[in-house]
Structure formats: structure tokens, C-alpha cells
Amino acid sequence: MPVTVSINSQVAVFPAGVSLFEAGESLGLNVPSSCHKLGKCRECLMEVIEGMDHLTPRVASEQHLKGEFRLSCCSRLLGDTGTVRAHTLRRATMHIEDGAMNLPPQARLERPDPAVTRDGDRILLDGREISRVPGPLLGLALDLGTTTVVVRALDLESGRIVASTSFENPQRFGGTDVMARIQYDTDHAGRLLQRTLLGYLSRAIAGLPIDPLRIFEIVAVGNTTMRDLFLGLDVRSIGQRPYWSGTEQAYRAGTATTTAVTLRARDLRLPCHPEARLYALPLVGGHVGGDAAACLLAVAPHLGDEIVAIMDIGTNTELFMGNRHKLLAASCPAGPAFEGRAISCGMPGLDGAIEKIRLHDDDTPPEIRVIGGLKPEGVCGSGLIDLLGELRRTGRMNEYGRFEDGSAEFTVHAETGLTFHESDINELAQAKGANVAGLLTVAKTYGITLGQLDRFYLAGGFGRHLDLAAAKRIGLIPDLPDDKIVQVGNAAIEGACLALLSVTRRRSLEELVKGIRHVELETDPGFFDHFVLGCQFNPVGSAPEARS
């Protein structure tokens, strides 16, 4: 009997025995694979949203997978009617912010001074000849996020961006947060998380409209866990107090001068020039990694007197506070709720995701805006913040996250059956609580209130698309005047580009991170009280007090 199969929202009917890989090919999808459907490369991952019972059981080559993930070449349709809904982990329609905006003037680079230069027909890396080939000098900047990966190719002589791409991090089969992936990498031999990511990344690079042999340097940024998984380093120590990477342990022991890592890119089998170098930015400390260090390059708080906060909200939120006199840093384990995970109607920022929601005071259906103008399939992070803000504004939800009419759910889109539950509110409240607790704890440690901040930078794609009024109304960000809040977009990839284009900036960053104080939130006696306050849906940090 035929089974209805929907992959990446493309739908058709297939008979029993057809694999999800073959169904994807028939639907015109490019399913990643480098082993000719033999189940060896582990790249053809799909997440099965519905209909797992209509697929053959897992085979031996799938035993490393958890939850709803399958290798599509090993998953065949059973002989009964039904529906299977799935998606690949490399959806080309993913809307990921890969550019930074509104960066301060002091952070901009007037003239590139890259490590790769040209002397006639000679190509030099730090003054050493590595090749004699014509053509452009290219470099790659990588932002290795827990949920998404962004790739930029730059001309190293002009500083111009020549190509870019982005995709979902396929390591999600090992867990949605860094602690889960540390545990997965510890429990499974063979560096499966690294191999899967490198396979996807290699395909992404090969798909850029450039000659990979003209790539002479790669700069990578990521939180501590994502960076070290990518490099193939042992990550077990990052999951245990004091949460130090092996590179941080070596630096603190005096056996290394930096937490940055340098190696040959071909050691990771990435498509590039054989002599290309890979440079991974230094760590700030603990779970505050190279992506946070890259944000510092992009925003440059260490070059001014204003007391600023920089917050990159995500699965692992990074936070800085200070100026050229003093900088504090912290990491807030917020979890994936703001990225649509663990939410009944949640989804990433893909075509079909509701990104804007407006409620009326009566029973009129909500006004929505859907990415791609398609039929709504779910609600992405910015839409969830809109929804919470509107529920509070219209009095449908109280400060404790309970619906005032006594119901347990709210209908977001009746036609498609999208509903938002009190259990979803609880997930978002805890994610918000972790971020607010981090902000309040770091501000207290610095000696100020949130109302005394001169500037608040929201970094990352999620922060770039937030409605500020809604975010302030529910207490996700400080209740500051709008002119003090700057949405800078993906500052991590921008900082990676600066490090790629400037050896001077790269070296200054290595020195800067050594003087930053890392605040361990969980050891602060007031953290839990701040967390409880942050779980409530009220504005926070609007009233300035005297500086201590």
C-alpha cells in the first residue's frame, strides 16, 4: 500500500520498500551523501517529525542516533497506508542572519592586513611561501553555532565578501545543547559528531561559487564545545567543573601561551589549498568561547568608556559587560527554546515559520507574518517572543505565565491547528530566566544596575529580529530606551571576518581575552533568586540606581 511522504514540505506518494533517501531524490531534494547510500558516511540524516512507525526499524549503522533521527538510506517505507513527515538537516531555505549591522565605528577595519599576502607570483603565509598560483587570495570565516553554521568566503586583498552560505548544524542528532553533545561524544567512539559536521561543511564549501584551491586560510569561531568538537579535541573536561577546555587547562598551567588553536586545514580534510591554515579563535573562559571572543572584535567595547552589555541569545547565551577599564563575561545555559525546540508549535527560522504575531482585544484571529509567504507550519523564535508579548499586552496571560481564562492553550492558527500551551510558556520562561539571571548577576558583580548601562547590544540572528517592545514587555531584555539598544546581527561571523582579514586584530584579541574576568553564575549566592525573578513575565532593569 502507498504511503504519503513529506520531506522539506515536498509531498508525494510512494510504495512500500522505497527509502527516505530515494523519496527525497524523487522529490528533487539534494540529500547529502558520500557513500552511495551504503549507510557508511552518516551524512544523509533526516529528522522524522511524524510516522516513525511507518518505517523499517533502525539497522546497525543507525545505532548512534537518538530520538527521531534516521539515516534516510537505511529507512524504508513499510507496506501500510499512512503519512511520514521528515526533513533533511541541510534545508537551503533556512533563514539565518549571516551579516552584522550597526557596528560601532571603532570596530571597522580600514585596511586589511591578512596573514596571507602576495609578492609577485608568490603567495605567502606569515611571510613564508606556500604557493605560486594565479587567481584571487581567498579565505573562509566559519561561525560554528550549536544550532546553525554560517560560512563566508572573502577576498583577502580587498576584504570583500565573495560568497556565503548557511545550514543547520547536523550534530543535533547528538543533542540540542552543548552538555548533551559532550555526553554523546564521550559515550560514542569514532568522533561521529566531528565527522558528520565536517562532511556537511565540506559539501557547503564545495558548493560555493569559488575555486576551493584558492582558499589559503580559514578562521573558525564557536562556543567552547562546538569549537573543540570541530577540531576533534577531547571535550569531556568542558562538561565538568571548572568547565575548562583542554586548551584552557594548558594555558592556565603555563604550557601554552594562548587558547587559540592553529593547524593545517587539510588535517580536517576540508576542501582548500593543501597548505591552507586553520585558525580557531581563543576562548574567553569556560563555556564563553571563540564566538563570544569574535563578538568582542565586532563590537569593540574595550576601545571605549561607555559601559555596555553584549548579549548573544541562543542555546548557550554569551554575555559581556564593561568597557576599556574592565570587562566581565558569563555564559547562560538557556537551552534551545528560543530557537523553536521543545515548543509544541516551535520550529527554526525556515520558510513556513510564523515570525510576527499581532493579537486583537476581541476574538478576531491573530494577524501573522510567515517567512516565505507560505502556509504556516510553526512559530520561530522571534514569533514566540511576539506571541508572549502580545499575550501580556492583551491581558490573556499573567506575569506567572498562566492563561487568565483558565484554559491550557491558545490557538495561534486555527486552520493548521497550531496551538501554544502553558507547558510551552514554562519552557520559554526557564530559558528567559537563565538569561535574565545572567544579566542581573553580572551587573551586580560589576557594581551597576541594568538601568545604568550606556548601551545594550543584541547580537545574533535571533536578537536581530526581535521586536524590542515585546522583548522588554516580557523581561527578556532590560527595559531601556530604544536608543540605548543596538541590534547588531551576527557579530560572531563579523568578528571571524575581522580576524581573517587582520593579523593585528587577531593578536590584540589573544591579549584582550586574557584580562577578562569570567563570572561563574552558578556559584553566585543570588543567582537562584535572579532566576526566579527572570522566569516571570515583567519588565526588568528599568530603574537606575547610584553606582557602587
Write out pLDDT tens, residues 498-531.
999 999 999 999 999 999 999 988 889 999 999 9
What distance in Å separates the CA atoms of residue 390 and residue 394, rounded to the nearest whole number? Answer: 6
SS (H, E, C) 317-379: EEEEEECCCCEEEEEECCCCHHHCCCCCCECCCCCCEEEEEECCCCCCCCEEEEHHHCCCCEE
Closest alpha carbon to 512 in 262, 362, 301, 353? 301
Whether residue 508 is contained in a domain is answered as yes
Domain boundary among 421, 455, 473: 421
How confident is residue 118, by pLDDT bands cut at 50, 70 and 90? very high
- Does 154 share its domain with 262? yes
Q: Which domain holds residue 18?
A: 3-88
- pLDDT given for residue 148 in this prediction: 87
Same domain, 15 and 134: no
Asked whether residue 135 falls in the same domain as residue 227, the answer is yes
232 and 204 share one domain: yes
Mean of pLDDT values over 65-86: 90
Q: Are both 250 and 195 inside the same structural domain?
A: yes
CATH number at residue 30: 3.10.20.30
Mean pLDDT of the chain: 91
Task: Pick the closest to residue 227 from 163, 288, 167, 312 (CA basis).
Answer: 288
* Phi-psi region at 399: left, alpha or beta (left = phi > 0; alpha = psi -120 to 50): alpha
Length of the chain: 548
pLDDT digits (tens, 9 = 90+) for 420-444: 999 999 999 999 999 999 999 999 9
- Extract the C-alpha cell encoding 538: 515583567
Taking a C-beta distance cutoff of 8 angstroms, is the pair 52, 45 a contact? no
Instruction: Pick the range with the lowest mean pLDDT from 103-112, 169-178, 281-290.
Output: 103-112
Is the same domain home to 145 and 12? no
Taking 3-state DSSP, the helix, strand and coil percentages for the chain, each rounded to the nearest 5, stand at 35, 25, 40
Q: How far, in Å, CA of 294 to CA of 488, rounded? A: 13
Give domain status of residue 443, yes or no.
Answer: yes
Question: Quick one: which of 497, 501, 512, 491 has its CA closest to 298?
Answer: 491
CATH number for the domain spanning 209: value is 3.30.420.480
Whether 145 and 40 map to the same domain: the answer is no
Decide which of 388, 403, 421 is a domain's last residue.
421
**Which value, to the nearest 10 degrees, does the dihedral of the CA atoms of residues 330, 336, 340, 344 take?**
-130
Domains contained in the chain, number: 4
Domain-located, residue 399: yes
Do residues 300 and 512 lie in contact, with contact meaning Cβ atoms separated by under 8 Å? no
330: closest CA among 516, 542, 466?
Answer: 516
SS (H, E, C) 84-124: EEEEECCCCCCCCCCCECCCCHHHCCCCCECCEEEECCEEE
Indicate if the pLDDT at residue 14 is higher than 50: yes
Residue 361 and residue 475 in one domain:
no
pLDDT grade for 1, boundaries at 50, 70 and 90: low
